[in-house]
């Protein structure tokens, strides 16, 4: 520890002496809780959707991804409004039970660590669901049938065949969720839970110690990298490749009565609490305050958000492809490290990323301008750090992890023997990628694109701090009101964020359907 | 020569693609810690009168870092803050420049200006103690110190201690009584909290209405804002507003204020705007629209605010209080106030 306590202002020592332990415990609790709960939401739903047949399955299979389109901080506010003392739920209970005051009954407090875990899990489970469903669908039904015919019960077959085969997807999904949880400051803070991220903010922005803030950030990231590496080390000998296209509609379990209702209740409740309920509240407010919140700029903000998200999603996809093919063609420590490093931004809170990218680009701008002046030209101003360039760059830093992860997991399913076959048939590297690999990972590419698009639509802190003058996104506009807990006025633009996020879902679903 | 030509062209092109801030157009750029919609009416008035366009960039955190990194190229002319600590921080990090203006000196009393003319307060706001009208009524003699006494156990609500408004209050207690006494006091307040610090100032008033607590810390203008909001008016009606420490040091007063950025590209326009913000017209709008106290002596607070009565304000210079900001933040960690 002595290496760490040497510090400009002793603020790291101050943290150790005071709140660091509590913050660490809270951080671990939040992450563990969110991972566990998301797992409980995602694993059963992914398996039911992939392997069972029941009414409304075709709706649920894409609807269960919808919660991704709602920003977690909005869900946090909606849930607090609904479940706190003066909210409708407790109000109804009081009326119904003739309770008078807060002292007459017990109701779990929503603004606690449990509330934070619940809301984060409800908004983040779709990452895991998406990846697991893909993994289960990709598994050839034959394997499962073989296990069954060898005398395993459905559960045993699941445990010993399907589950291990899905492990890499599960690891990617869980680490995405863990990173997003670490990087989420707004939601956790709204629930009055203080984590290591709070310490990063306090030391940097209040106590002015960049070194301490950087230290805490790096310790957090290091812990995460170690965890992820341990996981991938633990299955280093496991290599599984799938032939895709082996759809097995006929092999789905047709659920009998009791089981059918059980599954339907589970899936529809999940969808209700994660999407339908918060969306309905937003619609209710948006209608009630429609005239107050409708204005001419709203359309401009929508366009800004949309184009920004399109640009970021395309670039992130490109970056992910480059990194992943680099790793595939030149496997080794270096390429592996590059991939891991490129992903870390997702675990860093937006404000920290924002200031982090400001530092090099403002330096570059300052250098460039001084050079220009030296050579007798006039200044050009902050062409990198004062323009949309830095905003796009900041978003990329933050979200490329999602694209890299989904390409990684879908490329992992493509057996290298296919590459070898292609090469031995005289195709060069480029041709192999274009004609063999890319078509096989098309779904993964579309997924990467949508996920980044949706995250970019929702992103707040990076945009808030890096945007140029007179550039608002829907999220920054929403924040003005939300930061004063005036959700009513923000409901319409918040609803627009959700609706814009749904567009690529629909488009991509169409594309995929045509494909099949 | 062609190389130089290419260079010029590409530089020009880059300048075009960037959101460049030409000095030809009449405009002024603001980095604001305040929500844009709160100050827009005032800025619109300024644009009407002067034809100078006002660009506002709002964020609650990180703007000081941004302006510092941007250095001599920063497009910001002015920074608007909602508390004293950021005014002092901007000044102490050498991100500001002095403004010598007769108008500002005339409009803003000296205790609300930096002695070196680096920062200027525009409005003042009191850190009040709200009390439940129904359960305790108005408590005219209450002090901040009372909040730590055992009879208030389980009766107090507040937002996060780390919020600038609370940090500044704690800093003022440190400035008055020293760090050791302030720590005992803060521990006492923490022990009396009805719930973990959460939400904003309005949410505390709502909690009083809901019966979760009897006393809440909050700035004065929120009461006016809540009375004007159909959904929140019932919260506001459930509380009495009290001005603490009337028989002792006086109520803690914070300020919202403005600095001229060190490298302001539109300096002249920026000073015009600063002067406008201290003028009767703008000060009146601050008072009427946002329920703050104008710094300009001749401008009256709004009728509603005036109806809460006059009060004695803490006379300790704001700069002295701001000096204790860091100590206050650390004290909050030591007593684990928010945890």
Task: Check CB contact under 8 Å for A386 and B66.
Answer: no
The structure tokens 């039911």 sit at A48
- Looking at the DSSP bridge assignments, the partners of residue B125 are B254
In the predicted structure, residue B22 carries a pLDDT above the cut 50:
no
Which of B18, B210, B330 comes nearest A381 by C-beta? B18
**Among the listed residues A43, A50, A255, the one whose alpha carbon sits nearest the alpha carbon of residue A138:** A50
Nearest to A372 among B11, B231, B326 (CB): B11
Put simply, the answer to whether B75 touches A381 (Cβ < 8 Å) is yes
Predicted local distance difference test score (pLDDT) of residue B220: 96
Task: State how far the Cα of A208 lies from the Cα of A393, in Å rounded to an integer.
Answer: 25
Please report the sign of the dihedral spanned by the C-alpha atoms of residue B192, residue B194, residue B198, residue B201: negative
Which of B288-305 are b and which e, b meaning 16 or more Cβ less than 10 Å from the residue's Cβ?
Answer: bbbbbbbbbeebebbeeb
Diameter of chain B measured on Cα atoms: 84
What are the DSSP calls for B61-119, one per residue?
SSHHHHHHHHGGG----EEEESSHHHHHHHHHTT-EE----HHHHHHS-GGGB-TTSSE
Chain B residue with Cα closest to A81: B203
**Alpha-carbon distances of A462 from A26, A123, A295, A382, rounded to whole Å:** 24, 20, 25, 18
Contact (CB<8Å) A206/B167: yes
Q: Where are the domains positioned within chain A? A: 21-240+253-288, 295-516
Q: What is the pLDDT of residue A215?
A: 83
φ, ψ of residue A331 in degrees (nearest 5) = -65, 145
DSSP string, A25-53: HHHHHHHHHHHHHHHHHHHHHHHHHHHEE
Number of neighbouring beta carbons within 10 Å of residue A55: 10
**In CATH, what is the architecture of A21-240+253-288?**
Orthogonal Bundle (1.10)
Q: Which residues on A lie below 8 Å from B198 (Cβ)?
A: 111, 191-192
Answer yes or no: are the C-beta atoms of A469 and A451 closer than 8 Å.
no
Q: Which residues of B touch A380 (CB under 8 A)?
A: 11, 14-15, 18, 20
A140: exposed, middle or buried (Cβ count in 10 Å: 0-12, 13-18, 19+): middle
The percent of residues in chain B predicted with pLDDT above 90, rounded, is: 86
Q: What is the pLDDT of residue A512?
A: 63
Q: Chain A partners of B20 at a C-beta cutoff of 8 Å?
A: 380-381, 383, 386
Mutate to test the interface with B, among A14, A366, A382, A489 (most CBs of B within 10 A): A382
What residues in A contact B132, CB-CB < 8 Å? Answer: none
Asked if B55 has any chain A CB less than 8 Å from its own CB, the reply is yes
Residues 6+ apart with CB under 8 A from B42: B277, B282, B285, B286, B289
Instruction: State the DSSP H helix or E strand holding residue B259, giving kind and residue range, or none if neither.
Output: strand B253-261
Tokens at residue B279, please?
A: 């003028």
Per-residue pLDDT in tens (0 to 9) along chain A, 516 residues? 333 334 455 788 888 899 999 999 999 999 999 999 999 999 999 999 988 889 999 899 889 999 999 999 999 999 998 988 878 888 888 888 888 877 788 888 888 999 999 999 999 999 999 889 888 887 766 777 788 788 888 788 888 888 888 888 888 889 889 988 988 888 898 899 999 888 888 888 777 777 888 888 888 878 877 877 777 777 776 666 655 545 555 567 788 888 899 999 999 999 999 999 999 999 999 998 888 778 888 999 999 999 999 999 999 999 999 999 988 888 888 887 787 777 778 878 787 888 889 889 999 999 999 999 999 888 888 999 999 999 999 999 989 888 998 888 788 878 888 888 888 888 888 888 888 888 888 888 998 999 899 999 999 888 988 999 889 999 999 988 887 777 888 899 999 999 998 888 777 777 766 554
Residue among A362, A383, A468 whose CB faces B14 most closely: A383
CA distance B106 to chain A (A): 32
A427 φ/ψ angles, rounded to the nearest 5 degrees: -85, 140
Residue A108: Cβ within 10 Å count = 9
Nearest CB to B199 within list A380, A385, A485: A485
Query: Measured between alpha carbons, how far is A389 from A392 in angstroms, rounded to an integer?
Result: 5
* Residues constituting chain B: 339
Q: Count the Cβ atoms, other than its own, within 10 Å of residue B33.
A: 18
Could you tell me the pTM of the whole model?
A: 0.88
User: Which residue in the set B70, B160, B326 is minimally distant from A362, CB to CB?
Assistant: B70
CA dist B305 and A397 (Å) reads: 48
The phi-psi region of residue B199 (left if phi > 0; otherwise alpha if psi is between -120 and 50; otherwise beta) is: left
Q: Is the per-residue pLDDT at B226 higher than 80?
A: yes
> Residue B120: which of B310, B301, B289, B279 has the closest Cα?
B279
Query: Which contiguous run of DSSP H or E holds residue A186?
Result: helix A186-190
Q: Quick check: helix, strand or coil at residue A88?
A: helix
| Residues in chain A closer than 8 A to B71 (CB atoms) | 362, 366
Nearest CA to B274 out of B125, B122, B124, B123 is that of: B122
Across the interface, whether the CB atoms of A465 and B62 are under 8 A apart is answered yes
Cβ of residue A206 closer than 8 Å to a chain B Cβ: yes
Which residues, including other chains, have CB under 8 Å from residue B142's CB and lie 6 or more apart?
A: B129, B131, B215, B242, B244
What are the distances in angstroms from CA B215 to CA B156, B201, B252? Answer: 5, 12, 17
> Which run of H or E residues covers position B157?
strand B156-157
Mean pLDDT, chain B, whole residue set: 91
Question: What was the pLDDT predicted at B2?
Answer: 52
Q: Are A117 and A30 in contact, with CB atoms under 8 Å apart? A: yes
Token pair of B173 as six digits? 């207690």
The pLDDT of residue A11 is 80
At B156, list the tokens: 């107090």
Query: What domains does chain B contain, in order, with CATH numbers?
Result: 25-124+254-299 (3.40.190.10), 126-252+311-334 (3.40.190.10)
Please list every residue in chain B whose beta carbon sits closer than 8 Å to the beta carbon of residue A205: 61-62, 64-65
Indicate the SS3 state at residue B123. Answer: strand
pLDDT of residue B10: 46
Interface A-B: count of C-beta contacts within 8 A: 157
Query: What separation in angstroms does the CA of A275 have from each of A181, A268, A449, A501?
Result: 19, 10, 21, 13
One fold for A21-240+253-288 and A295-516: yes
Domain A295-516 - what CATH class?
mainly alpha
Touching check for B11 and chain A: CB below 8 Å? yes
Residues near B310 by Cβ (< 8 Å), separated by ≥ 6? none
Query: What span, in angstroms and rounded, lies between the C-alpha atoms of A161 and A396?
Result: 37
CB distance A483–B202 less than 8 Å? no
pLDDT value of position A251: 66
Does A207 contact B at CB distance below 8 Å? Answer: yes
Token code pair at residue A480? 């003005």
Contacts of B326 in chain A (CB under 8 A): 206-207
CB B252 within 8 A of CB B168: yes
User: Which of A67, A344, A20 has its CA nearest to residue A212?
Assistant: A20
In this prediction, residue A2 carries a pLDDT of 35
Q: Using a CB-CB distance cutoff of 8 angstroms, which residues of chain A are in contact with residue B329? A: 202, 206-207
Distance CA A105, CA A90 (A): 10
Task: State the Cα torsion B66-A320-A136-A333 to the nearest 10°.
Answer: -100
Best residue in A9, A17, A19 for a mutation probing chain B (most B CBs within 10 Å):
A19
Chain A (273-312) residues lying within 8 Å, Cβ to Cβ, of chain B: none
| Whether B219 contacts B126, CB under 8 Å | yes
CB A494 within 8 A of CB A282: yes
Q: Which residue of A has its CA nearest to B93?
A: A208
Report helix, strand or coil for A6.
coil
Distance CA B204, CA B197 (A): 9
What is the pLDDT averaged over residues B260-286? 97
- Answer yes or no: are the C-beta atoms of B289 and B125 closer than 8 Å: no
List, for residues B156-210, the tens digit of each pLDDT value: 999 999 999 999 999 999 999 999 999 999 999 999 999 999 999 999 999 999 9
Is B57 touching A (CB cutoff 8 A)?
yes
- pLDDT for the residue numbered A241: 66
Closest chain B residue by Cα to residue A366: B73
% of chain B with per-residue pLDDT over 70: 93
């Amino acid at each position: 520890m002595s290496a760490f306590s040497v510090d400009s202002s002793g603020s790291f020592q101050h943290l150790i002496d005071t709140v660091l332990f509590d913050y660490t415990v809270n951080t671990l609790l939040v992450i563990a809780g969110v991972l566990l709960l998301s797992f409980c939401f995602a694993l059963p739903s992914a398996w039911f959707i992939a392997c069972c047949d029941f009414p409304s399955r075709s709706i649920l299979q894409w609807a269960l991804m919808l919660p991704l389109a709602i920003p977690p901080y909005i869900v946090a506010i909606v849930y607090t409004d609904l479940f706190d003392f003066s909210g409708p739920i407790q109000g109804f209970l009081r009326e119904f039970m003739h309770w008078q005051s807060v002292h007459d009954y017990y109701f779990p407090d929503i603004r606690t660590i449990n509330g934070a875990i619940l809301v984060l899990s409800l908004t983040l489970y779709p990452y895991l669901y998406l990846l697991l469903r893909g993994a289960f669908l990709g598994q050839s039904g034959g394997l499962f049938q073989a296990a069954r015919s060898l005398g395993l019960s459905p559960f045993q077959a699941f445990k010993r065949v399907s589950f291990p085969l899905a492990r890499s997807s599960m690891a990617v999904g869980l680490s995405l969720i863990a990173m997003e949880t670490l990087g989420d400051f707004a939601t956790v803070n709204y629930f009055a839970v203080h984590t290591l991220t709070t310490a990063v903010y306090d030391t940097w922005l209040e106590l002015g110690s960049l070194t301490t803030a950087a230290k805490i950030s790096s310790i957090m990231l290091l812990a995460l990298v170690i965890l992820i590496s341990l996981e991938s080390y633990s299955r280093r000998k496991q290599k599984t490749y799938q032939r895709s296209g082996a759809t097995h509609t006929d092999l789905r379990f047709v659920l009998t009565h009791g089981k059918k209702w059980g599954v339907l209740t589970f899936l529809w409740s999940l969808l209700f609490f994660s999407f339908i309920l918060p969306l309905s509240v937003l619609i209710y407010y948006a209608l009630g305050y429609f005239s107050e919140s409708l204005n001419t700029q709203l359309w401009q903000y929508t366009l800004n958000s949309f184009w920004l998200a399109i640009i970021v999603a395309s670039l992130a996809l490109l970056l992910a492809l480059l990194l992943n093919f680099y790793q595939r063609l030149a496997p080794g420590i270096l390429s592996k490290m590059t991939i891991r490093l490129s992903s870390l931004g997702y675990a860093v809170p937006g404000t920290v990323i924002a200031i982090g990218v400001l530092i090099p680009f403002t330096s570059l701008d300052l250098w460039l301008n001084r050079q220009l002046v030296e050579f007798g030209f006039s200044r050009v101003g902050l062409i990198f750090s004062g323009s949309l360039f830095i905003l796009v760059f900041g978003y990329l830093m933050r979200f490329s992890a999602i694209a890299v992860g989904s390409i990684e997991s879908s490329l992992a399913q493509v057996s290298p023997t296919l590459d070898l076959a292609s090469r031995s048939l005289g195709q060069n590297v480029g041709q192999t990628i274009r004609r063999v690999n890319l078509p096989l990972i098309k779904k993964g590419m579309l997924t990467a694109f949508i996920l980044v698009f949706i995250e970019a639509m929702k992103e707040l802190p990076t945009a808030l701090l890096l945007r140029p003058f007179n550039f608002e996104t829907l999220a920054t506009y929403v924040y003005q009101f939300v930061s004063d807990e005036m959700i009513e006025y923000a409901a319409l633009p918040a609803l627009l964020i959700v609706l814009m996020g749904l567009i690529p879902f629909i488009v991509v679903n169409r594309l995929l359907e045509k494909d099949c | 020569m062609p190389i130089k030509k290419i260079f010029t062209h590409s530089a020009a092109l880059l300048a075009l693609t960037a959101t460049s801030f030409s000095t030809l157009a009449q405009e002024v750029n603001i980095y604001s810690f305040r929500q844009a919609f709160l100050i827009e009416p005032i800025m619109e008035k300024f644009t009407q009168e002067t034809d100078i366009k006002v660009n506002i960039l709002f964020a609650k955190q990180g703007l000081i870092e941004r302006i510092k990194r941007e250095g001599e190229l920063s497009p910001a002319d002015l920074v608007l803050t909602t508390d004293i600590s950021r005014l002092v921080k901007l000044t102490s990090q050498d991100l500001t420049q002095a403004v010598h203006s007769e108008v500002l000196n005339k409009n803003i009393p000296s205790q609300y200006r930096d002695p070196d003319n680096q920062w200027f307060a525009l409005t003042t706001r009191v850190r009040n103690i709200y009390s439940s009208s129904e359960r305790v009524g108005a408590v005219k003699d209450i002090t901040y110190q009372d909040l730590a006494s055992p009879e208030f156990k389980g009766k107090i609500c507040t937002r996060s201690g780390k919020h600038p408004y609370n940090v500044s209050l704690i800093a003022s207690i440190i400035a008055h009584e020293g760090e050791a006494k302030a720590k005992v006091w803060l521990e006492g307040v923490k022990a009396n909290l009805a719930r973990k610090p959460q939400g904003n100032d309005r949410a505390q008033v709502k909690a009083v209405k809901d019966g979760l607590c009897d006393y809440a810390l909050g700035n004065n203008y929120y009461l006016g804002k809540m009375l004007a909001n159909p959904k929140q008016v019932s919260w506001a009606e459930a509380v009495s507003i009290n001005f603490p420490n009337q028989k002792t040091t006086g109520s803690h007063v914070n300020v919202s204020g403005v600095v001229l950025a060190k490298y302001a590209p539109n300096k002249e326009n920026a000073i015009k705007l600063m002067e406008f913000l201290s003028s009767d017209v703008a000060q009146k709008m601050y008072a009427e629209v946002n329920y703050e106290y104008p710094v300009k002596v001749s401008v009256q607070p709004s009728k509603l605010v005036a109806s809460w009565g006059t009060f004695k304000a803490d006379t300790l210079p704001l700069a002295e209080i701001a000096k204790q900001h860091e100590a206050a933040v650390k004290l909050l960690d030591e007593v684990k106030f928010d945890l």
